[in-house]
Amino acid sequence: MQEESVKTAEEIFKEFREHSVTEFFKKNSQMLGYAGKVRSLTTVVHEYVTNSLDACEEAGILPEISVEIKQVGEEKFRITVADNGPGVPKSHIGKVLGSVLKGTKFHRNMQQRGQQGLGGSGCTLYAQITTGKPVHAESNTGKEAYACDVSIDIKENKPIVTNLVALPVEGHTGLKVTGEFGEMKYERSEHGALEYIRRTAIANPHAHLVLIEPDGNTVDFPRSTNTMPKRPKPIKPHPLGLNVADLVDYAKASTARKVSSFLLESFSRVTYDKISELKNIAGIDFDKRPQDLTWEEAEKLISAFKKVKWLAPEMDALSTIGASQIETAMKNILNPEFVSVVERKPKVFRGGIPFVVEAGIAYGGNAGTKTSQGVSGNIMRFANKVPLLFDSGSCAITEAVNEIDWKRYGIKDFDQEPISVFVNVSSVYVPYSGVGKQAIAQEEEIIDEIKLAVMEAARKLQVHLSNKRNRNLQESRYKTIMRYVDQLSSDLADITKMSKEEIRKSLVKLIESKYSQLFKDTLASSEKEGQQAEEASNGEVS
């Protein structure tokens, strides 16, 4: 047997190559959510719709978004998403749709749906590697209107804009993107595009969404409210949300002359009094240039941050859906017999990153998931108002809801009840467990806060179900007794020689009086239980 010759380092490193980030994602498209035919289609819809929602809200426009899906070949679909947002300037369309990791969001410390600069460009990349075709864009900013094709130079991670033509500047502003994608499948399942749009409508009641399915069927989700959500504002990072590498990076980019002024200018809740405290604890030179801060000194500062008592992070960067809006949307779309919605107070995780949990429970009506055996409870997961349809097993929301003892709240078997649990986590930085952004990492503080929110809503459901069972029991007893009124009236008439009809009227009056009082007592008891549940919730919140 001939031995293989030993290679030198020079021979091995002849194969050394530098690859662009676009090349990496081309070979690892599953990291962007393109894994499985149904998921790939839903991912494209998700990326375009979230971009449209963010654009409309930042411009202060009530969103009008249409999604059209057409099958153009075996496992090939043409997907068009159009909005009434501000549009994209001609000079930026290539960067928006044809350059990975570039965008308007990642560098701003505020809550937004998309942040990584992967969404629109990821769709362009996926169209390119599955059909070889660019995406087509039409934009109207109110000052200019045009159409063009966009593709990506994969080696250089640069956009290629072709077939650029001017269009009349008329009608409303907005962006329309059309792409042809392969290796996809459309189905009406809990992971499909229809379910994604339905849940988006619940979490974004101010948006009007329309889906045209491949068979031509149009599904319309009218907006439930004309109230725009509060617009988040960029905030400075909180000292407790930093690690050593963050602090060093901020310091090197700072134009401040001293470490003390750098801390005052760059981070929230830092005051002159806090600087004095930090000086005593950290033991470093606060008059030196921040660019000269060493790793060891940054470690001492981070350690000192943890020993100082800070005000909670600013919450201007967060924008929740709102309890009343969630309730309205769930009633409109799920038509349940009961809805309970809770919005918790802002909390922090990892010491300094703010987040808010909103939770709702819908019971009866169209709540839950229809199955061949009947109906099953479901968990509707959201992060920054965006539905999370995949990777549920590794998500903090799933973990929290599954840890709850539902029998305590009148739900004998969650998997066999018409119940939908809605949870939305809003944060400047949602700790997703993967690049596909479909599951929230199981941070202890987040799981605990989700559980408290869901249990608070569940207590109100418990009162409703208890009241419902008591009323059903009383009504059953009432109907049972009323069945014997005629026979009893006849027998008493024979014995007393009184009028049967008079006896019957007296018996009916007596029974109705008795059960009317029982119904009132049941209702009063239910209201008392509800008040106690509310007080318990308020105590837990505080």
Indicate the SS3 state at residue 358: strand
Low-confidence ranges of the chain (pLDDT < 70): 1-4, 7, 9-33, 101-118, 435, 470-475, 477-478, 515-542
Structure tokens, 313:
């992070």
Exposure b/e, 54-71, CB count within 10 A at least 16 = b: bbbbeeebebbbbbbbbe
In the numeric block, which tokens belong to residue 29?
A: 């498209």
CA distance 191 to 114: 20
Judged by phi (left if over 0) then psi (alpha if -120 to 50, else beta), residue 18 lies in beta
pLDDT at 241: 83
pLDDT at 505: 83
Fold designation for 239-305: Helicase, Ruva Protein; domain 3 (1.10.8)
| In the chain, domain spans | 21-221, 239-305, 323-455, 463-541
Q: Report, in angstroms and rounded to the nearest whole number, the Rg of the chain calculated over CA atoms.
A: 30
pLDDT of 538: 47
Architecture of domain 323-455: 2-Layer Sandwich (3.30)
Contact residues for 33 (Cβ-Cβ < 8 A; gap 6+)? 39, 40, 43, 46, 122, 390, 435, 436, 437, 438
Specify the pLDDT at position 32. 59
Q: Give the pairing of strands 145-153 and 135-140.
A: antiparallel
> Cα angle vertex 257, ends 255, 261, to 5°?
90
d(CA 112, CA 328): 23
Residue 4: the pLDDT is 62
118-149 pLDDT tens trace: 678 889 988 998 999 999 999 999 999 999 99
Q: What is the pLDDT of residue 36?
A: 86
The predicted structure's pLDDT at residue 49: 95
Retrieve residue 131's tokens: 């059909």
CATH class of 21-221: alpha beta
pLDDT at 474: 63
Q: Are 118 and 95 in contact (CB under 8 A)?
A: no
pLDDT in tens, 272-323: 999 999 999 999 999 999 999 999 999 999 999 999 999 888 777 788 899 9
Token pair 């503080």 in the structure block, residue: 445
